[in-house]
Amino acid sequence: MSAANEKYLIGLTGNIGTGKSVVRRMLGHLGAYGIDADALGHRAIMKGAPGYKPVVETFGRWILDSKGEIVRKDLAKIVFDNPAALKSLEGIVHPLVNKAIEIMVQRTPHNVVVIEAIKLIESGLADKCDAIWVTYTPETVQIKRLCERRGMSEREALARIHAQPPQKEKISRADLVVVNDSSFEKVWKQVYNAWNKLSVNIPGEEEASAAQTKTVIDSSDLLRVERATPKQAEDIAALLNRIEEPLSPYTRMRIMEAFGEKAFLLLFDNMRNELMGVLSWQVENLVARVYDVWLMPEVPEAEAVLLLLKKVEAEAKLLQAEISMIFMPKESSLPLSLFPKLGYDRKTAEELDSNAWYEAAKDRLGYGKLLFVKELRTDRVMKPL
């Protein structure tokens, strides 16, 4: 055990395109609390955050956009091939990120915390962890992923890959190597098996994990909400096919892959113990985002949405989210008047007072959706100056 409130800390690292975030989210589905150190690093240098002024003073105002925000691409150009400049930047950012992680570890009620960081070892975070997990992917697969998912050319992908230390250097520090060279299911089996071995050795972890994944909210004798696990991917796919009747049917594998990006809540009819609805959502960078809600026609919409959103908010607060966002299609069948009654305000991305919130909202609003937001906590990890 580490000294951090007797939490068990898993340090998760790996080179670009090896699936670190997927493994972190998988551990979240099993009951761990996930921290994205790289996202915290981005927050640390946003306008008003503690690292903003030192970075601007060190690298110059030309790295700012018209709104005064640091353009990370311009900053990256400076430090990419300049070890001294990179060391200066890391000297500003790493202490802030480490402090933020310390605060988050102290706050969380979870017994297991997974800290994802590309520079876990270099930043000194590895020394605070009880175990080091490393994701590994063959270079040919890395290149393919970077080209397909990030729109890079093969030349750009190779440059990014070779700019990082060889994978074997991280593997030499690993307590566990997660091989991510093919399917989501292969990775899930490795993570699931490692978690089961891990939880046996952590006092109270089996109970904590069960509470994380099996918590039920009852509103009446009619409906209940449960958090889904990848084992229920086939049931989710079958329900979505019944509700949407899509031209390209949902499959078990498609839903399994979706678990690598988001979480699902399941709505059951209590009397028949039948799955009647699904909500997809995610907490990333301390922002909870509700993506889609699917309900069978006979389900009472207002009651179902109330139950599902209460569960989202309860889970999001456990994950220390600062804000909850709902993205609803303009042509949604759900009554939009329902959300203000639940404490959500309709906003534009530009009206949000945190650049991290703005980026999280802007990322989804390009799909012709309306945004509803509800602030969940005011004590932010990266406190504005």
Domain limit, last residue, from 177, 205, 233? 205
Task: Looking at the structure, tell me whether residues 225 and 269 fall in a common domain.
Answer: yes
pLDDT of residue 122: 85
Q: Each residue of 282-319: pLDDT tens digit?
A: 999 999 999 999 999 999 988 999 999 999 999 999 99
Domain limit, last residue, from 186, 205, 224? 205
Task: Looking at the structure, tell me whether residues 193 and 227 fall in a common domain.
Answer: no
pLDDT of residue 4: 52
pLDDT of residue 136: 96
CB 176 within 8 Å of CB 134: yes
pLDDT of residue 218: 45
The residue type found at 53 is: K
Task: Looking at the structure, tell me whether residues 96 and 31 fall in a common domain.
Answer: yes
Asked whether residue 381 is assigned to any structural domain, the reply reads: no
Res. 354 pLDDT band, cuts 50 70 90: confident
Picking from 30-44, 123-137, 367-381, which range would have the lowest pLDDT averaged per residue? 367-381
CATH number of the domain bearing residue 91: 3.40.50.300
Q: Each residue of 55-78: pLDDT tens digit?
A: 999 999 999 998 899 999 899 889
Asked whether residue 210 is assigned to any structural domain, the reply reads: no
pLDDT of residue 158: 92
Asked whether residue 90 is assigned to any structural domain, the reply reads: yes
Asked whether residue 52 is assigned to any structural domain, the reply reads: yes
Q: Each residue of 108-126: pLDDT tens digit?
A: 999 999 999 999 998 889 9
Task: Looking at the structure, tell me whether residues 156 and 233 fall in a common domain.
Answer: no
Q: Each residue of 228-273: pLDDT tens digit?
A: 999 999 999 999 999 998 889 999 999 999 999 999 999 999 888 9
Q: Give CA–CA dist 218/137, Å, rounded.
A: 43
Res. 219 pLDDT band, cuts 50 70 90: low
pLDDT > 60? residue 1: no
Q: Say what the pTM is.
A: 0.88
Task: Looking at the structure, tell me whether residues 220 and 169 fall in a common domain.
Answer: no
Give the domain extent around 93: 8-205
Task: Looking at the structure, tell me whether residues 192 and 283 fall in a common domain.
Answer: no
pLDDT > 90? residue 217: no
Which among 287, 309, 291, 299 is positioned nearest to 382, based on CA atoms?
287
Which among 28, 227, 336 is positioned nearest to 10, based on CA atoms?
28
pLDDT of residue 105: 94
Task: Looking at the structure, tell me whether residues 190 and 328 fall in a common domain.
Answer: no
User: Alpha helix (H) ranges present in 66-183?
Assistant: 72-79, 83-107, 139-150, 154-162, 167-171
Task: Looking at the structure, tell me whether residues 52 and 151 fall in a common domain.
Answer: yes
Q: Each residue of 138-196: pLDDT tens digit?
A: 999 999 999 998 899 999 999 889 888 899 999 999 999 999 998 889 999 999 999 99
Token pair belonging to 204:
């109270």
Task: Looking at the structure, tell me whether residues 180 and 247 fall in a common domain.
Answer: no
Q: What is the mean pLDDT of residues 89-117?
A: 94
pLDDT of residue 333: 74
Task: Looking at the structure, tell me whether residues 264 and 119 fall in a common domain.
Answer: no
Asked whether residue 2 is assigned to any structural domain, the reply reads: no
| Domains contained in the chain, number | 2
pLDDT of residue 204: 57
Share of the chain above pLDDT 70, in %: 91
Burial class (CB in 10 A: 0-12, 13-18, 19+), 338: middle
Q: Give CA–CA dist 76/120, Å, rounded.
A: 19
Domain limit, last residue, from 153, 179, 205? 205
Task: Find tokens 């006092």 and name the residue.
Answer: 203
CATH number of the domain bearing residue 357: 3.40.630.30
Helix (H, G, I), strand (E, B) or coil at 227: strand
Asked whether residue 18 is assigned to any structural domain, the reply reads: yes
Burial class (CB in 10 A: 0-12, 13-18, 19+), 163: exposed
Report the first-to-last Cα separation within the chain, whole angstroms: 34
pLDDT > 80? residue 274: yes
Res. 80 pLDDT band, cuts 50 70 90: confident
Task: Looking at the structure, tell me whether residues 14 and 116 fall in a common domain.
Answer: yes
pLDDT > 90? residue 216: no
Share of the chain above pLDDT 90, in %: 66
